[in-house]
Structure 1
Amino acid sequence: MKKSAAQYAPRPVRGPALCAVVMLGIAGVAWALRAVWQVRLAVAGVPASGLPDQGEGRHRPLTALENSYHVVSAVGDVATLFCAAFFIMWLWQVRDNARTLSGHPPRYLGIWVYAGWIVPIVNLWFPRGIVADAFRGSAPDRPLPRSVNVWWALWLIGMLTDLGLNYSGSTDAMIARAYSNVSTLLVADLAVVGAAIAAIVMVRTLTALQLERFATDLRTPSGDPLKESVGAFDQD
């Protein structure tokens, strides 16, 4: 028999929130370092031997600075993947908890917690909608925090630029762009860093809100991880 919304057990959110915050911070630092290396490349200028990709399948050996940029870029890519995984894990938990607190089913089907980020067109608003729906389900009497809109606006800037999160070219092509027009790279990098910072505030705010609601409304029994973690983020 299908459960009603009120019959769903609260999902612990402290652990997923901490993981998401840590990974958002790491990803933000990684993208900030990428920006620093791009500025270093721009200041150094194109070597006398020309660009790394010299056309017709020919590539010259990388300089020490170019090689270190490859490492920084790869670390940033890995950090972004882990950040996405932990953020989605947290988002799934708060979505389920909002259903428990409100007594109403979520506005978006569960598949969109994952697919909403990658399906064209809908990825322009579905992820924000899922977060906003979780806020409203958790505290319908409170206004949506500004961090949600700031996070999503900066995310879109970083995603829509052809040099940001959706960039699919080679690292050598990125190096060439840093030599010729670093300002466009920095716009994308700073947007991603800003989105990570805003997301940290957003995660902490929604997590603290749900922990508070479960402690006061549902009166979780002693020893429940939700009750024990109340106050972990209550300074936001």
Structure 2
Amino acid sequence: MLCSTCRLRPPVTGDGRCALCAGVPAAPAFHAPQQYLRSPEGLAKAVVVLLSAVAAADVLAVAAGANMRRLITTGMADGYASVSDEEAELADNLYAGAGGLQALAFLATAVVFLIWFHRVRHNAEIFDRSTQPMRPGWAIGGWFIPIANLVLPRRVAGGIWTASAQTNTDGSWRHVPATVMNLWWGVWICSLLFSRFAQRRYLAAESPQEIVDATGLVMATDALDVVAAVLAVLFVRKLTRMQGERAALGVYPLGTGPVA
């Protein structure tokens, strides 16, 4: 059974409302839970910068891919008479270099993003533990389980979003649409799956035409990843801002407290 008002938490009153909706004060043992909150703002700024680097690397990869396709297409038309060895080598180096930059930017972003994600999950445990569908460790572990990582991080993010949604000053619940989170996750999953398909096609390509076609698929993946990066920036900034607003209100349900 859930609260008759917000439909998010277990009821604690006789009329079926949860502690937050009923205005029940926080447990005395945790009279100042604010001291256990950890600001995610610094990490969020770092994640935004790194996501911007990811998007920039993707744009460079698209440009390098377009140059590669142009040279191969031109060469196919005249037997490669108009394409010098220097041009071909430069195109290969640019394409490989762009791929290396993508890998480095993604790795750095993944590490800092996971730290930020765990931080906001830590705060969500204090804001409202009853709205969390999974334990805090899943904020990191959920990303590393094959197939399940297509679902688990979104479940964790949903709980964080719910707990971080700003309440009204009287402690009553106020719904905050999760549109940006849903768009980010949907585009990210599409980019991930399409990337695997495109990479398989590229590695299996043998003829010049197959390479041109596969390179086009990889370019489309890179463009989709740019969109995912932009939406991730919006998600990180929005959730970080929500947690700041939520912490400023100082309204916590019964039974919350410090977490390790």
TM-score range, shorter chain: 0.7 to 0.9
| CA distance 1:124–1:103, change in 2 (3 Å) | closer
Secondary structure of 2:144's match?
Answer: coil
Select the structure of larger CA radius of gyration. 2
Q: Is the contact made by 1:10 and 1:97 (CA closer than 8 Å) also made in structure 2?
A: yes
Aligned equivalents of 1:80, 1:169: Cα separation in 2: 22
Secondary structure of 1:161's match?
Answer: helix
2:243 to 197, 210, 220: 210
Aligned equivalents of 1:106, 1:183: Cα separation in 2: 41
Aligned to 1:40: 67
Aligned to 2:99: 73
| CA distance 1:23–1:171, change in 2 (3 Å) | farther
Q: Which amino acid aligns with 2:244?
A: L
Secondary structure of 2:250's match?
Answer: helix
Provide TM-score, normalisation by structure 1. 0.75
Aligned equivalents of 1:210, 1:21: Cα separation in 2: 16
Q: Deviations over 1:192-213 (max 9, x none)?
A: 1111100100111111111112
User: CA shift at 1:153, angstroms?
Assistant: 1.1
2:132 to 93, 106, 111: 106
Q: Does 1:90 align with 2:123?
A: no
Aligned to 2:44: 17
How many percent of aligned residue pairs carry the same amino acid? 25
Aligned to 2:143: 117
Aligned equivalents of 1:80, 1:196: Cα separation in 2: 10
Aligned to 1:156: 189
- Structure 1 residues 50-69: aligned runs within 5 Å: 63-69=89-95
- Structure 1 residues 138-149: aligned runs within 5 Å: 138-139=164-165, 141-149=174-182
Secondary structure of 2:186's match?
Answer: helix
User: CA shift at 1:103, angstroms?
Assistant: 4.2
User: CA shift at 1:143, angstroms?
Assistant: 3.1
| CA distance 1:30–1:178, change in 2 (3 Å) | farther
Aligned equivalents of 1:159, 1:183: Cα separation in 2: 16
Aligned equivalents of 1:12, 1:188: Cα separation in 2: 34
Gaps of 5+ in 1: 50-61, 219-236
| CA distance 1:30–1:172, change in 2 (3 Å) | farther
Aligned to 1:194: 227
The size of the alignment, in residue pairs, is 203
Aligned equivalents of 1:109, 1:10: Cα separation in 2: 17
Q: Does 1:180 align with 2:213?
A: yes
Provide TM-score, normalisation by structure 2. 0.68
